[in-house]
Amino acid sequence: DQQVKQNSPSLSVQEGRISILNCDYTNSMFDYFLWYKKYPAEGPTFLISISSIKDKNEDGRFTVFLNKSAKHLSLHIVPSQPGDSAVYFCAASFRGGAGSYQLTFGKGTKLSVIP
Amino acid sequence: DSGVTQTPKHLITATGQRVTLRCSPRSGDLSVYWYQQSLDQGLQFLIQYYNGEERAKGNILERFSAQQFPDLHSELNLSSLELGDSALYFCASSVGGAGNTGELFFGEGSRLTVL
């Protein structure tokens, strides 16, 4: 049972335009959501996050939106740059016993920004 | 550079064999996580250690085991290897504890190929 779903395996966007990456989740216990970016031959790197008490978080060209009622979040990249071409993973977490937690990742969306 | 070091970067072995993957977390991080990424799959959580103790367990096979040593480095042991165990194995670390919301720092991964 996939608790975090990224239904688009790939996305192509023209340079300068907006990239919108989507993510859906099923577990209501999730209270923190993150996006990671991964280049080939590298490990994933943290990009941006949002707490469930917010509906928007912005960091430069990157904005994450959270719609709790729809259990949906999205990552907007404006303007898109060729260097943004990477695989983007959506992840969700909740705090378990003794402060432990674990991240549940989606399968990723490969973004290609075309110059 | 995330500060998380994984060795070896690449490993080729035969079915039925046993291998050990090693991870050194970022300086000061107490939590270590192991993830598996198979072809076309997202990052599957295997196991978490916090300050030497197992904290959370995910989809880790019984043939796999891990430990975290007093110096906080961790090893993932994979035994009786099968073709399907071929994957990228990522180690990640975090400060850990109740205040952590899930931002992990990933190593570059160990690519295991089982022939």
Q: Do residue B104 and residue A103 have CB atoms under 8 angstroms apart?
A: yes
Residue A11 contacts B where some CB pair is shorter than 8 Å: no
* A105-A108-A110 Cα angle (round to 5): 160
Average pLDDT of the segment spanning A80-104: 84
Amino acid at site B70 = P
Residue B42's nearest CA partner among A2, A39, A79 is A2
DSSP label at residue B26 = P
Do strands B10-13 and B110-114 pair parallel, antiparallel, or not at all (unpaired)?
parallel
> How near does any CA of chain B get to the CA of A104, in Å?
7
Q: In this structure, what is the dihedral angle of CA atoms A96, A101, A107, A112, given to the nearest 10 degrees?
A: 130
Measure CB to CB from residue B102 to each of A34, A41, A107 and give the nearest one. Answer: A34
Q: Do residue A41 and residue B108 have CB atoms under 8 angstroms apart?
A: yes
Per-residue pLDDT band at B98 (split at 50, 70, 90): very low
> How near does any CA of chain B get to the CA of A10, in Å?
12
Residue B39 contacts A where some CB pair is shorter than 8 Å: no
Segment A17-72, tens digit of pLDDT: 999 999 999 999 898 999 999 998 899 999 999 999 999 999 999 999 999 999 99
Q: Do residue B103 and residue A46 have CB atoms under 8 angstroms apart?
A: yes
Residue A37 contacts B where some CB pair is shorter than 8 Å: no
Find the residue in A nearest to B48 (Cα): A102
Q: Please report the residues numbered 51 through 70 in chain A whose beta carbons come closer than 8 angstroms to any beta carbon of chain B.
A: 51
Chain A CB contacts of B2 below 8 Å: 43, 45
Segment B78-97, tens digit of pLDDT: 999 999 999 999 999 987 65
